[in-house]
Structures are given as structure tokens and as C-alpha cells.
Structure 1
Amino acid sequence: MKRTTRTTVLTVGALIAALGLPAGAAQADDTAPRIDLRVLVVSDGGPATDAIAAELTAAGTPYTEVDLTQAGRPVIDAGFLADTVDGRPRAKFQAVVLPNDNPFAAGSTEMTALAAYEQTYAVPQVDAYTYARPEAGLQYPVYGGYSGSVDGVQAGVTAAGQAGPFGYLDGAVPFEDNDPAVGESYAYLSTPAAGADFTSYVDAPIPGQSTRGSLVGEYRHDGRRELVVTFVYNQYQQQFRLLARGIVEWMTGGVHLGASRNYFAVHVDDVFAADDRWNSTLNCTPGDVDCTDPNATPDPIRMTAADVDYATAWQTGHDFTLDLAYNGAGSVDQREDNNGVDALADKLIADRNKFRWINHTYTHAFLGCVQDTAVVPWKCATNADGSTRWVSRTEISDEIANNRVFGQTAGLPLADDELVTGEHSGLKVLPQQPTDNPNLALALTDNGIGWTGSDNSRDPGPRQVGSATTVPRYPMNVFYNAGHAAEQVDEYNWIYTSRAQGGSGICEDNPATTTCLAAPLDTTTGYADHIVPLETKIALGHVLSNDPKPHFIHQSNLAEDRIAYPVLNGVLDGYDALFAADTPVVNLRMKDVGTELKRRAAWAAALQAGSVTAYRIGDVVTVEAPAGVDVTATVPTGTTLAGSAFGTAYAGGASGWTPSAGSALGLTLPAAAAAPAADASGTATVTVTAPAPDTRLPAGVTEQVPYTADN
């Protein structure tokens, strides 16, 4: 097959004046250009550029988006890309993200301006999803390559990738295949074109061949660098989540505002207390206010001392610390009923320093409205005038203070400003209680609470309640009322199957529910074969998304069959198989999660308001932010701030937060982080290729395909 390549060749000197950089002077100390720490994302509305933009947003890395599909968008020309500030040439963007290697129409001057800009200021370009062709440094796929689905493919990081931008990965890059009936990914696998200066960073086997084809690689040409990505993805897919950090670090040279880490924290609620057990005959939980059958007899689940031994050994084996949310009255009641004996409490208190502890209120009382349980579901009781009856400020304070005293008396290593109320009560809960108990904010302030847990499925964003900020927690689908795997499966079947199959019918009433079952699970095998892999994928997805929100389970899940551990093992062992040792899971206590979320919110607001300025000149990064707003950045190891090391090590670099007093902060980069040399001699040429061909976009990449247990 013969193809004709149309190119536009220009001398850089013809464009360099418009871009603002004096020819031949780019590397002189007194005229080194200013490079603003901002990314230009040129979008076509597709999932690949959207995914990169989402990654930048989550990390707190500023970017400007130009949507090519929008009328009235800015024209990308020399003035849009560069200017002069205080007599110094300024590049307005440190990196460029394009939908492909050339998304513009034939003859467009915009690609010419971008190419000249990239060459002049040594600004790298990411081709978010492009066809494999010589213009991108690769052979056409028809010449021994492959074009097609890569669902379920086991890709891998090459030696060059591990020595370069993807060194935080252990090697494997598995592609999702959540639904065999839906195409979820597509790729153009190929090898470097003859004579191309191309280095593959991530590759996969070419079907029917003994060779591997590039999925992500660097193409160097005409004094420019492109990261050529030849597969499509969305922001939720595991393959992108694994590679997103490397894409950002490559295009920024590891120097950018914002930061990304992989977080996992697990809160274990109701410690010292007992949890009521699911009844598979009644399809309800005796002891729960909504289980009103006269034959309902509670059958509580409570940990034992042996379960504590197992938990401490598990923590040691996984270098991980659980957060135990405790109810002191549970132990008091146990001792009253057993002649002063509570072997569980004795063991937990003896091992108290092996865990983190959170006040979960003394009796686990419901602290919202006064519940009227004469009806199912319950409703809020009302006063004579029809107003809502609320649990009082004194009652809430007693629950907090009495549990704090219990913990202090037992010597638990508490953070006194942390709290999780029973069932997150006191906070709004729909549909019965659409507003917070007004007494909750007062009681939290009375007791010096700075952080209180909330249910992410109801209340996903942090918000202020009195003196406290809420910390949203992810509920894991490991039920509080199940100590045995068979109980968990039975309740799961009842919730997620149809009425005709003996289920609750919730999926018929709410078709968008993603955990619905086509048929009931086997109670013997269903937990290990279906629930564990599904919950593992969901939780690991949170971990890989720079999301510090904790997950929560219950003490019952550490008792009897210890059903929580297969899921926790799946997350942590699965993570360890994917990441290098320098990129560990970050395991924060609740107040530190809250601090991280609060800092991010303030930082995002400052970026949105345009009140943050950051740029690099030579080996110095200058950041200006409003007073009181903490600044976040990712930089090479060895970077200093006021003579001291900045941040902490993670994923081969350093990142962290530092307070701003409103004046400029100066980060000094190590010599090894020298900026790439720009070619401003005026003698090089800019080659602009023909527009990139259209690429395939499978249905499963335009919308997130729900996780399944089997793939």
C-alpha cells in the first residue's frame, strides 16, 4: 500500500520572534525563558483527553482546555502560546496534550504554531490517542502490527519505561474486560518506523506475532518530543489509572503543581460492641428497628480475643494499620452480663497501640431525629405542633464524652478531635431526615470535634458541621450483619435478585443499580467467586484514583469466618503486584484524610479563582498563592525550599504541601533536573504532518462499563 504524506516545513527563525524568544539565546542565564507551570489540553471531546484532564484536576495541576468542537474557542497561535513578561520570554504552558498527533484540518496554522512553540521552548506533547503511522514514529499496523480490541490484554512496562516515566510500576499493566459483550478498548499495536527515534515505554504482544507492539512510547523528531499513545481509554479504566501518573510526569518532567498518591484506609466500626445477625428465613435483621416479625430473635456477632490476634498478625504481614471505631458501652455490658469478664476487651486494650482508635459514641445511639419505629420504615417523631423531635444536645454530648472517658481510662491512643457517630446519625439521612439534627453541630463544638465521619454514598463531599468537617467514608459491600460467608451471600441474593427469584426487587425498582444479579449466587461459593472479586475491584479502583477517603466495615466482619480479609487481601496483594516498592499505599488516619481533603478544596478554589501563579526559570520554581492556602507540588527528589528538603519521597519523586503566607515561594531544583534544552538557533525546521486519521472508539470506552466479578 502506498501512502502520501503531506507536510509543511518552516524555518524556526520565521516563527521565533512571534513566540518571544531571542534566537540563539535560550540557554543564557540572563535570558532563560519563564515556563509557566500550566498544561494546555486541546480536546476533541473524546474520552482520552477527558481522562488526562480528569487526572490533572484530581491532582490539582492547573491546565487550560481548548475544546476543538466548540464555536468561538480561542485560536491557538503564537500570541496564545507565548509572550514576554518583565522583558523575559514566557512560555504559557509547560506541556501540550492533543487528541492525536495532529487534530487540525489540512493547512491549519494552529498545528504549525504548536510545533514551533514546542521546539522553541522544549515543551513536550502528548498524543492522547493516535493512529500508528510514520508521522508518529511507528509503522502502519498493516505491516506486521495489529488494529483491534485489547480487552483483557496483559500489557507491560518495557525496560526503558521502568527506567523512565513508568518506574513506579512493577511491570504488569492489565487491561480491563468487564463485559465480554461490550468493546471497552481498542489499540493500534506497531513497531518503530525505519529510522525513527522512537522508544516504547509500554507494549503488548501483537496477536499472531512473536513481537510486541508499542502502546505508549516517546518519539523524538525535529527538536520535539511526543508521547505517542495508540490505545483509547477513559478516566475510570484500570489501565489508564495505572499509567496516568507516568503520562503526567513525562510531560511535566516531574515538575508540576499538584500531587497524586494511592491511598487506602479501613475503619472497623462497632468495636467492643456486637452486631445483629441477618436472618435468612425472615429476610431481615432481628434487633434492627425495621425487623418487626414477632419471631425475630437477635443473634449477635462479636469478635473474640483470637480474632484480635488474627488482626494484629494480618496487619504485620501487610504493613497496614486498621482504624478501630469503638463503642465503650459494648464492653461495659459484656462485663455486667459475664461476672466482670470481657476477654475481647482485655485483649484489645493489651494490644491497643497496634491499632488506631476512633470515638464511635458510647452506646451507638441514633443521634438524629427521635425515631418512630411503630411504622416500617421508621419515620421521624414529631412534636404536638408538627415539628421534628430531635435528640438533644445533651444526649449527643454525653454519647461523645462518655466514650472518650472510656477510651482514656483504657489508655487507648485517641485523637480526641475525631468522631464517627453510630450509622453516621445526626447527619441528614434520606428520605426520613433531610436535614442535620441542629443539635449535632452544637454538641460537636462543645466537645472539640474537628472531624466527623460521613457516609460517602449519602454525603460525598466534605462539609462543615459546627466545629467539625465531615470525612466521607466508602461503605464496603461486606455487610455489618454477616459473620459467615453464607449469611453474606444469602442477604446479597435477597437484595440484588428479582422478586420472582425471592429477592427484594430493588433492581427492578432501580435499574441503574450496578450490583444486580441475573440469578442467585450459590451460598457456598458465591462469596469467594463473586462478591470478593467484585468488591476488590471497586475498592482498588478508589485506591488508584488519588482518593484518600477511607472505607468502612464492621467488627462482625473480622469475627467468625472473618469475611473482610479476602477483600482486604485482594486490594493490598493486588496493589503490591502492580506497583514498585517506592510507591506504597498511603494509610492515613481519619483526621489526616480530612486535612488532605480540606487542603485540596482550598487549593482547587484558588486555582479556579486564578489566584495561583507558578513558573520555572532555570532551576528555580516560583509559586505565589493566597495567604492561608497550602501549596502542593511534585518535584524531583533533592528539591529544596528555604534550604530544607521539600515534601516526602513517593513514586520516584517528592511531593507534599507547604503553607503560603501570600508571598512568593522559591523551590530550588537539583542539578539533575535541568530543563530540556530548547532549540532556538533559528536554523532548525518545523515539520507539520497531515491531519491524523480517524481512530476507532468502542462503545465501552465512551461510558464506564460496571465492574464484574468474572473478568
Structure 2
Amino acid sequence: MKRITRTAVFTVGALIAALGVPGAAAHAADDLPRVDLRVLVVSDGGPAVDAIAAELRTAGTPYTEVDLTRSDRPVIDSGFLADTVDGLPRAKYQAVVLPNDNPFPANSPEMTALAAYERTYDIPQVDAYTYARPEAGLEYPVGDGYAGSIDGVRAEVTDAGRAGPFGYLDGQVPFEDNSPAVSESYAYLSTPVAGADFTPYVEAAIPGGTGRGSLVGEYRHDGRRELVVTFVYNQHQQQFGLLARGIVDWMTGGVHLGASRNYFAVHVDDVLAADDRWDTELNCTPGDVDCPEGEGTPDPIRMLPADVDHATSWQSEQDFTLDLAYNGAGSVDHRQGNGGADPLADRLIAERDRFRWINHTYTHSFLGCEQDTSVVPWRCATHADGSTKWVGRTAIADEIAANRVWGETAGLPLHDDELVTGEHSGLKVLPQQPEDNPNLAPALADNGITWLASDNSRDPVQRRVGPATTVSRYPMNVFFNAGRTAEQVDEYNWIYTGRAQGGSGICEDNPATTTCLPAPLDPATGYTGYIVPLETRIAFGHVLANDPKPHFIHQSNLAEDRIAYPVLDGVLDGYEALFADDTPVVNLRMKDIGAELQRRAAWADALREDQVTAYRVGGTVTVEAPDGTAVTATAPAGTTLAGDAFGEAYAGRVSGWTRTAGQAALSFTLPASATDGDGAAPEAKAPVAEPAPDTRVPAGVRDHVPYTARN
């Protein structure tokens, strides 16, 4: 499967558009209404609506939320939904998301107003989680239907779904079953009512029956369109991650502010250096700070040339590029101890263009406070007056510069503005060092560093450190001090079991830890049967969440038993099995990830401060924003800006970023396929008066089941 590898992201044009006005062909230009590019999200506090709101928020698609549980909420009436601007009737929302097909009391004027609004402007409605019933176009889930758990079910996208909003999927939609003790998914499976204009998009076999029932489908009735979803979910569940893009695509017609990609990047730290090995008897790592000084004998783990060959072959097979964070002193020291020879470095240098490279400092020294390792855990050394002893500016700058020079001499294809410090040191680390080393920022400036890696587990929010902006990285729980499977399982058991079981007791001391074990893993099966599925699931969740942050492992994990590959294969092979070829994994280098996160943050600020106005009138889309604003959007192929094609193709659409440089507004032209239509609405009928019955929300949806793997 093809992966996308870039050094720049989404730099071509932009389009903003909205689905849901009567077709342009049937109206004179001055008769067409204006439809604003904003989604109305009506929430009852349930997880399904919250999940859709989270998807919109992450993509950068603006929405207005009305919380039905609040007494001070606005009333949804005709004035709330539409008005007139510059002589044109205006629809304030391009789509409506409701908790179910009718969350209001019987004969509610609010539901009447919504139904009239949707008919007038052809605005689609998403029923985030509703009971299967004739009012939603489906038979009741009794008799030949089903109501109950669908944990572990493999649903399928129908031909209509693949030809429509879910065409980015290959067909399968597996539902999670993380815990045998918790119901995680609940659904109503049934078939369309005879004669109803209902098109199933996602179906599953009805348990105990021979037919298939709809989980997601489109119901056209009374001049309105509804996307009827009959299973409950939260934003963290895989099934929602797989279908979220299609839900948004359906309600916006694939034309909206904001954009989404499926990202995956993997940094390999400590390349050329050696990582100290976990001691299964001492339950610590001799040579590292978790062992008392002088205890145990260090036993380093270092890659061999054959491991480089395996990595290059693996990259070719997966069409994926690893980022190698290197420490040049590791090779210098090895040559000094081995008669000038370092076959590993020679092999890596020969294959240097097969990888991306990142400066990881020369010796991997700790660049924060001076560490006092006479105690475990370590503490910051202090002066006589109690102030912290910091590693100096010159020492930090030399670590960066010396490693850059080594890399340049070796001919590595470097980007000098990127840096990963050893252990993310120099940045704050709790509890020992609650603030950044004040000497770090000037040392970064000395070396022209503008992108600095941080640890997402302790420093997740992008921030400035002097001239640099942080790029948070997800640590994979494939340990730096394990080159063999047995070591990984032993350390995992030590960390995540209780003291009575011979473990560290971290879970007893911190009940919030989500990876605790009820019993030690089997040394023979624990890695492949438990740790690999768990780490795969966590990383895959990040991929599905439009999250570009990189993951990091260590060179030790590519050596000896090569324990990282089963997890990486689990993510990439699993992805290829589920997604169509037009929706590849996007594999970016660190600085481009940082730039994407930076643009997103600025865009979120602009939306929050109401600085962006976007709307469609017929086939023309206008976006107004302060000069210099980077705008992100998704649209159909064929959209143009000033005659030029817009965006990059992804998942059957095009999307990208553009700036409002020197203009008060941007004007875009939609392709004819996005504006065709006769504008005629079906015959109007009275809206449904009765609200949907209560739907069941299992514990595994209301309270998200922690990531756990099943044996």
C-alpha cells in the first residue's frame, strides 16, 4: 500500500463550501440563499454526540453546540436557524447533529422548526445514536432484528456506502472487544421498513438470524435527509475512528472547513549508541539511573549491520520511512574500543538515504539539572544556597553542534533545525525538575534549532522554548532497555503488577495507571499475546484520530529479537487491511509535524475568537479572515481558486491549507458535480411528533474501557 512521505504539507490553495442549499441550476443567482459553513451540534451529554463534536474539533470544522441539559440554553427556533444577510436568506448551519432522530418532547416546536429548516435549505441531519424504529426508516429490532452487544463483530460497508461517504474504507469495520468483563458496544440491528427510502451504508449480520441489519444508513423522507446511526460509541473506539470521516463527509457533502489525515511516524532514538539492558534479577538497569550506583554489571544492547539490512528491507516492504535519532559519539567510542572499526556505522552511512535523520546530541548526556544519582530515584544537585545546579549553555550547545558536525561529515541528510535531546532532557521533568533548564533556550538559539522533541506523556501541549517549538512524541511501551522478548515481558511484569506478585506496586500507589495487570504475563506468550496487541491498538487509535504526533522507540528494539517490528507491522498491516488505496498513511518528518500542529493551533484560535466567516452562495464559496490567516478546508476534486486546482487528493476528496495574504476574502469555485440539482424538495409532510425511545449506553461506552489486550 502506498504511503505518503513529504517534506511539506498541504500547501496548495483552499476551498470552503457547504452542502445543503437548493441546486444552483434551478435558481437565478439573486434567489440563492447563503449557507454558512458551521455545524449545529445538539447534545444531551451522551458519548455519541460528544464523539462527533470531537471529530469536528480535531479537524478544525466550526460548530455551535446546544446542550439540552442546560436551563439557560438558547431556544432552537426559526430565528436561531436562519435570517437575512445583505438581502439574502441565510442558513446559519450546513448540517445538524442530534442525539437521536427526535430528542425533544412530543409536539415540540423546536423539532418542528428544525424539520422546516432542513426542508427549506436541504440541510442534512445526523442521528448520532437512535433506536431502530419506523420513524427512522427501520423496523423495530424485534423478531428478525436484534438489540444487544456487538463486541467483536466485524461489520461491513455496503456497496452504496463504498460508492458514497465511506468509500475510503476497503469494506470491513471491526468493533472492539477489549475486555470480556465489560460491554463496550451496543446496537439495534434491523432492516428498512418496506417502502421506505432507506439506504444502508454499514451493515452487520443479525445474531441468530440469516439477514443483515443496518448500523449506519441514509433515510430520505418528508423532504429531509437523515443519517441514522443505530450503535453507540465514544470518540476513542476503533469503530468510530473508522467511520467518523464518513459521517462528516455525509453531512457536509465532503465540503467543509477543516481537514483530516491518518498519520503515522516512528522515531528510533539512540542510533549508533548502545542502550543499557534490564537486569531480570535486580529489577533495574545497571549503568542507568534506576539502579543504585555500582549495582550490577552493564550489558549494552547495540544494533548490528544485519539489523540495518532488516530495517531497510522492512521499509521497502511497508513503503514506510523511519526517522533515526542518532548519537555520533556512539560510533566514535565504538571505533576507539575496536581498532577503528564500526561496521554498524559503516552500514548505516552506506544506507543513509534510506532513512530520515535527526540530531539526538553527541553523547546523549542529560541536559537539564546536574543529576545526583547517589539516590534512587535521582534528584537535582544543588548549590550550597539550595539553588539548582544546571548544565551550562556551552555544554548544551556543544552537544548539539558536535553531533551535527559528525552527521555532516558522515554525509547524513540532516535538517539542522530539528533536535531530540537525550531523554528529552533540558525540558521540565516531574517531579525532580519542574521547570526547563534556563540555559536550554539560548543554546538552541546558538544552533538554529526551531523544532524540539518533547515527551507527550509529560509535556503534551505544543509550546515555545526560546526559538524552538516543541513536537510532542508518543512513547511506545516497548522498552529502551529490552532487546529480547523475555526482558520486555519481565520488566513489564515488574512495573505493572502488585507487590504481592513480585511487582513494583506502581498500580497500588497510582490507581489511575491504565496498564495494570491482574497477574504476571506468561514469559513465553506475554509479548505476542498481550503487549503487542495492546501497543498496536494504542498506536492505531492515534492514527485514526487525525493525530500527526510521532511515536518513538529505541535502536535496541531493532536489535537482537527486533521486538519493535510486531507492533509496527500490527499498525501498518492492520491499516492496509481496512483502508482503500486513496487513503494512505501519511508519514511526515518531525518539522512538518510541528508545522501542522502549529497551524492547527492558530486556526483553532481564529475559530474560537470568531475571526473566520465562511459561506456558500450557489457554486461560489467565500471565506473571510484576517490577513495572513492559514485556512484549512476539504472539498470535492475539481474545485478551483483563481483558476488553479485546489488541494491534495485524500480519501476521495481534496484538502489543504492556504493563507489569506493581502485579501479581505477568498473566493472559490465548486465543480459542477457539487452544484448540480433541480432544487426541488420532496413533498413536505408534518415532522415526527414523538421523541425517540431511550437508547441503551453500556458501561464500556459511557466510561471508556482502558486499552487492554485480551489473552
Please, what TM-score do these two structures have when normalized by structure 2?
Answer: 0.95
Aligned residue identity for 2:672 = A
Q: Secondary structure at the match of 2:152?
A: coil
Check the 8 A contact 1:100/1:128 in 2, yes or no: yes
Instruction: Describe the SS at the equivalent of 1:587.
Output: strand
- Aligned equivalent of 2:586: 586
Residues 691-710 of structure 1: pairs in structure 2 closer than 5 A: 691-710=691-710
Counterpart code for 2:704: Q
Residues 176 and 238, structure 1, Cα contact 8 Å, conserved in 2: yes
Aligned to 2:136: 136
Mapped partners of 2:211, 2:380: distance in 1: 67
Residue aligning to 2:110:
110
Match of 2:669 in 1: 668
- Counterpart of 1:325? 325
Q: How does 1:427-446 map to 2 (within 5 A)?
A: 427-446=427-446
1:597 and 2:602 equivalent? no
Matches within 5 A, 1:63-74: 63-74=63-74
Is the 1:24–1:680 contact (alpha carbons within 8 Å) kept by the matching residues of 2? no
Alpha-carbon displacement from aligned partner over 1:639-665 (angstroms, at most 9, x marks no partner): 112222211000000011111225211
* Structure 1 residue ranges, 4+ long, deviating more than 4 angstroms after superposition: 21-26, 675-681
| Equivalent residue, structure 2, for 1:634 | 634
Seen in structure 2, the aligned counterparts of structure 1 residues 326 and 386 have a Cα distance that, compared at 3 Å, is same
Judge which range, 694-703 or 165-174, deviates more. 694-703
Question: Aligned with 1:434: secondary structure?
Answer: coil
Aligned to 1:554: 554
Check the 8 A contact 1:119/1:678 in 2, yes or no. no
Residues 223 and 681 of structure 2 are in contact (CA less than 8 Å); yes or no, is this contact kept in structure 1? no
Once residues 145 and 340 of structure 1 are traced to their aligned partners in structure 2, the CA distance between those partners, rounded to angstroms, is 74
**Amino acid across the alignment from 2:372:** D
The letter of the residue matching 2:341 is V
CA distance in 2, matches of 1:284, 1:468: 34
Deviation at 1:144, TM superposition (A): 1.4
Contact 1:187 1:215 in 2 (8 A): yes
Aligned to 2:287: 287
Q: Partners of 1:24 and 1:262 in 2: how far apart?
A: 34
Shift of 1:684: 3.5
Structure 2 match to 1:227: 227
Q: Which residue of the partner structure matches residue 311 of structure 1?
A: 311
Counterpart of 2:217 in structure 1 is 217
Q: Report the Cα offset of residue 667 of structure 1.
A: 2.0
How far is the alpha carbon of 1:222 from its aligned partner? Answer: 1.6
Aligned to 2:595, the other structure's residue is in SS state: helix
- Confirm or deny that 1:251 pairs with 2:256: no
C-alpha distance in 2 between matches for 1:549 and 1:82: 39
Residue 368 (structure 1) aligns with: 368
Q: Find the aligned partners of 2:226 and 2:676 in 1 and give their Cα distance.
A: 16
- Separation in structure 1 between the aligned mates of residue 568 and residue 294 of structure 2, nearest angstrom: 37
Alignment-mate amino acid for residue 218 of structure 2: E
What letter is aligned with 1:665? L
8 Å CA contact 1:119–1:679 kept in 2: the answer is: no
Q: Are 1:26 and 1:680, in contact at CA under 8 Å, matched by a contact in 2?
A: no
Secondary structure in 2 aligned to 1:665? strand
Q: Residue 627 of structure 1: CA displacement?
A: 2.3
Report the CA distance between 1:26 and its aligned residue.
7.0
Contact residue 24 and residue 619 of structure 2 kept, 8 A: no
CA distance, structure 1, for counterparts of residue 678 and residue 250 of structure 2: 15
Which residue does 1:646 correspond to in 2? Answer: 646
Query: How has the CA–CA distance of structure 1 residues 498 and 622 changed in structure 2, closer, same or farther, with 3 Å as cutoff?
Result: same
Query: Aligned partners of 2:640, 2:319: CA distance in 1, in Å?
Result: 30
Stretch deviating more after TM superposition (417-426 or 184-193): 184-193
The alpha carbon displacement at 1:131 in A equals: 0.9
User: Structure 2 counterpart of 1:88, which letter?
Assistant: L
Q: What residue is the counterpart of 2:392 in the other structure? A: 392
Counterpart of 2:15 in structure 1 is none
Q: CA deviation at 1:310?
A: 0.3
Q: What residue in structure 2 maps to residue 339 of structure 1? A: 339
Distance 1:686 1:23 in 2: 23
2: CA distance, partners of 1:25 / 1:556 = 63
Give how far 1:703 is off. Answer: 1.3
Residue identity opposite 1:545 in structure 2: A
Tell me how far apart the structure 1 counterparts of residues 293 and 401 of structure 2 sit (CA, whole Å).
Answer: 35
Check whether the contact 1:42–1:66 (CA below 8 A) recurs between aligned residues.
yes
C-alpha contact 2:145 2:190 (8 A) present in aligned 1: yes
Preserved contact between residue 631 and residue 658 of structure 2 (Cα < 8 Å):
yes
Secondary structure of the structure 2 residue equivalent to 1:482: coil
2:4 corresponds in structure 1 to none
CA, structure 1 residues 26+50, in 2 after alignment: closer, same or farther (shift >3 Å)?
farther
Distance 1:432 1:22, change over 3 A: closer
Contact 2:441 / 2:467 at 8 angstroms: preserved in 1? yes
Any conservation in 1 of the 2:111–2:687 contact (CA below 8 Å)? no
What is the number of residues matched between the two proteins?
690
Give yes or no for contact 1:619–1:675 (8 Å, CA) kept in 2.
Answer: no
User: How many angstroms does 1:30 deviate by?
Assistant: 2.0
Residue by residue over 1:156-214, the C-alpha shift from the partner in whole angstroms, topping out at 9 and shown as x without a partner, is 10010000000001111111111122111111111010110000000101112111000
CA RMSD of aligned residues (A): 1.6
Q: Percent identity?
A: 77
Over 3 Å counting, the alpha-carbon distance change for 1:22 and 1:239 in structure 2 is closer
Which residue in the other structure is 1:565 paired with?
A: 565
Distance 1:360 1:303 in 2: 17
The Cα offsets for residues 461-501 of structure 1, whole Å up to 9 and x where unpaired, read as 10000010000000000000000000101111111111111
Distance in 1 (CA, whole Å) between partners of 2:294 and 2:385 is 33
Q: Aligned-pair distance for 1:274?
A: 0.5
Q: Deviations over 1:250-284 (max 9, x none)?
A: 00000000011100000000001110001111111
Write out aligned runs for 1:417-436 (5 A).
417-436=417-436
Question: 2: CA distance between counterparts of 1:348 and 1:472?
Answer: 26
Alpha-carbon distance between aligned partners in 1 of 2:679 and 2:648, rounded to the nearest angstrom? 30
Distance 1:515 1:142 in 2: 39
Matched residue type, 1:39: V
Q: Which amino acid aligns with 2:652?
A: G
Quote how far apart the aligned CAs of 1:679 are.
4.2
Q: Is the 1:599–1:629 contact (alpha carbons within 8 Å) kept by the matching residues of 2?
A: no
Partners of 2:121 and 2:22 in 1: CA distance: 11
1:115-194 superposed matches below 5 A:
115-194=115-194
The 3-state SS of whatever aligns with 1:195 is: coil
> Residue 37 of structure 1 corresponds to which residue in structure 2?
37
Q: Distance in 2 between matches of 1:27 and 1:75?
A: 31
1-structure distance, mates of 2:23, 2:403: 71
Q: Which runs of 5+ in 2 are unaligned?
A: 1-20
Question: Cα 1:407–1:532, aligned 2, differ >3 Å: closer, same or farther?
Answer: same
Q: Secondary structure at the match of 2:614?
A: strand
- Alignment partners' CA distance in 2, 1:646 and 1:273: 45
The Cα of 1:141 is off from its aligned counterpart by: 1.3
Q: Could you list the per-position Cα deviations for residues 101-125 of structure 1 after superposition, in whole angstroms to 9, with x for gaps in the alignment?
A: 1111112111111111101101000
Instruction: State the one-letter code of the partner of 2:238.
Output: Q
Deviations 1:204-238 (A, max 9, x none): 01112111000000001121110000111111111
- Secondary structure (helix, strand or coil) at the match of 1:415 reads coil
Residue type of the alignment partner of 2:622: T
Amino acid corresponding to residue 165 of structure 2 in structure 1: P
Given residue 209 of structure 2, which amino acid in structure 1 is its aligned partner? Answer: Q
Counterpart residue number, 1:270: 270
